[in-house]
Structure formats: structure tokens, C-alpha cells
Chains A and B, each alone.
Chain A
Amino acid sequence: MVERNNVETLVVLQPIAVDTASPDREGRLVIANGLLVAVLVRLDAPEHEMPGFWFLEAAFGRLQGSNAPPFAELEDATQWLRRRLRR
């Protein structure tokens, strides 16, 4: 359990370089209440439909298999992740 209903999840974003076999390498480890729950990667390859957006590269535990849309800002990503973790 990452979250109890009445307690706000503490989400920490930790910069990390990610090997995606593409120019997308700027990443963030998403740590929720001390547990790694996801990895976000910024879409830097120019061919992407939404360049500059943040992509949910990998997700673990309850987030696994989530189809998240790419996020314009990191803040949008954390909001989305928080909502998902609350369910």
C-alpha cells in the first residue's frame, strides 16, 4: 500500500538518465512514499507526435500496464500518478 486514504502521497522525482535506444534519455524516477512506482522519460526525438512531453516509460505495482497519455509538464504527470495510486 503506497497510500492511506486520508494521507497525501509523498511523490519525489529523482533525475536519472535512461537508455531507451533512442535520443529520449532525460528521465525521472518516480518515488511514492519511498517506493519506486514509475519511470518518466522526456520525448526528445524530433519524430515524436508530442516532442518535449513526458512519457510513462515504465510503471510498477498497481500502475503496471497503465496507458498514460504523455504529459506536457512533470506536474501533470505527478497529478495523474497520484490519482492512480489513490484508487
Chain B
Amino acid sequence: MATMQNTLSRKLEGFEALSDQDRRALNGLVPRIRQMGPRIDLIREGEEPENVHLILDGFACRYKVLPDGQRQVMAFLVPGDFCDLNVFILDQMDHNIGTISQCQVVDIPRASIDAITAHHPMITRALWWCALVDEAILREWLVNIGGRPPNQRIAHLICELLLRLEAVGHVRDNSFPFPFTQTDLADTMGLSNVHVNRSIRELKSLGFITVQHRVLTIHDPDRLKAYCKFTPNYLHLRNARWQGRRMVPWVDSARRG
């Protein structure tokens, strides 16, 4: 259970400083932890969201299926990510959430989230942060699909995964788990399998990456970031943010009188 509380507070405290009371409230959550196999839906389009899902371990995605069977993936969910923070208020899912690899998933009842947010404003703010960052990532993905050529598009996704996984301690020597199939990447990047294959081939031959036994290694992250002109601002990670940004000077001077 400790893992769940740690993952949750680590995630939230990346955005807002929590008090001891806040932390106690999070520790009071009695969530259900499920071990799920790969390629299993957590919740489907049309269903009523009962719980908020938090990924403890593994990779999941948000996706829709078009009438002709074509799948479009709109988000990758990594450890520490809430799957449906922004949709638990809605009465019906407008997309599917499914695992990509084996996952450890926490179900937090929406009533618990309601209770916590009613009494803990900093937790509420931190949850807002999570939802806003999800949106920011979605915006960047839109830019990525609409604006970058295939090689840079995939390179950009790889840089993003590096930073997001680094933030939750899942990167070692610039290597991280990469359970995605060519089809997963194709359905995510709006490309054909063939084009994904060629792009990955090109990124390998340029010496940027290696993929072995479903582990991706970036040989020189700075070079790869430069190649796809990656700017991490949209991830709003603590180490990528300007620390003093939210200390508004006039508030201080007003306080001093």
C-alpha cells in the first residue's frame, strides 16, 4: 500500500506543497489495487466512470476506435498518471482506457476524491495541476501530429517519455521500458506501420536510439532533443519550471505594507 501513497503524494507534491494533514488524508485512502494484463480495457466508451484510476506501474493509453476499426491513441499513461481525473465528473466515458503492458492499477472511488477535495484545497489544486498538464500534453500531441514530419514526431514522443518517466523514477542510464508495438506507435502518431518502421530505423541509424528487449535507450538525449526541437515547458515538471514563478512580488510588497 505504501507504494500507492508514495506514488500519489510524489505526483501531487510535484505540483503543490502539501501539509501533513493533506498527506494524512491521502494515507487514509483505502484503494483497491489490481494487477492487470497487457491489452485489457480499464473502462470503455459509454460506461459510467465509478472510480478514478491511477497507474502505479506499467503503461496504459486513452483511445478511440473509428467505425472502420481504425484506432487512434490520444494519450499514453505512465506510472503516477491518473487515467480519468478529468472525466470522473462526467456521467459517461467518451473514450476507452486500456493497458498496453502489464499494469498495476489503483481504483479510487469517486466518493473518496469528492470527500478529499472538499476538505483539502491544496490537494484539489494539485489535482487541477494534473488535469491541466494532461491537457497541455494533449495540445502538444496535436501540434506533434499536425506539424512535425514522421521522424521528428516519433523522436518528440521519445523525448517526452524520457522526461515523464524520469520524473517518476523509471529511467536508468537514459533507458526505459518501451512496450509499444509498431502498431501502437502508428495508431498514436497518425502514421502507417510502415512509416513508423522506417522512422525508427532512421532514428537508430542516426545513432539516436537503440531498442532491445523492449527497453529503449537514448544515446544522447540533448542531441535527440535538438533534432526534434523538444521544449519540455508543456510538461510543467518541477525541474523544468521556474521555481520562483508563483511568488508574485507585489503580494509580498503589499504584505509588507
Contact = CB atoms under 8 A, between A and B. Distances in A.
Bound together:
yes
Interface of A: 20-22, 24, 43, 45, 47-49, 55, 67, 70
A45 B201 contact: yes
A6 to B, nearest CB: 28
Contacts of B5: none
24 contacts: A20-B198, A21-B198, A21-B202, A22-B201, A22-B202, A24-B198, A43-B194, A45-B197, A45-B198, A45-B201, A47-B197, A47-B200, A47-B201, A48-B194, A48-B197, A49-B182, A49-B193, A49-B197, A55-B192, A55-B194, A67-B68, A67-B70, A67-B192, A70-B194
Given A55-B192, A67-B68, A70-B194, 17 more contacts: A20-B198, A21-B202, A22-B201, A22-B202, A24-B198, A45-B197, A45-B198, A45-B201, A47-B200, A48-B194, A48-B197, A49-B182, A49-B193, A49-B197, A55-B194, A67-B70, A67-B192
A22 B197 CA distance: 10
Best-surrounded residue of B194, B197, B201, B202 (most CB of chain A within 10 A): B194
Contacts of A55: 192, 194
Main secondary structure of the interface of A (DSSP, over half): loop
Interface in B165-213: 182, 192-194, 197-198, 200-202
Nearest to A70: B194
Contacts of B68: 67
Contacts of B197: 45, 47-49
Q: Chain B, interface size: which category?
A: 10 to 19
Contacts of A45: 197-198, 201
Contacts of A48: 194, 197
A67 to B, nearest CB: 6
A22 B194 CA distance: 11
Contacts of B198: 20-22, 24, 45
A20 B202 CA distance: 11
Contacts of B182: 49
A60 to B, nearest CB: 16
Contacts of A24: 194, 198
Nearest to B202: A21
A13 to B, nearest CB: 19
A48 to B, nearest CB: 6
B104 to A, nearest CB: 30
Contacts of B202: 21-22
A56 B190 CA distance: 15
Contacts of B70: 67
Contacts of A21: 198, 202
A74 B94 CA distance: 40
A43 B202 CA distance: 15
A36 to B, nearest CB: 20
A67 B191 CA distance: 10
A77 B70 CA distance: 20
Contacts of A67: 68, 70, 192
A70 B194 CA distance: 9
A30 B238 CA distance: 54
Contacts of A47: 197, 200-201
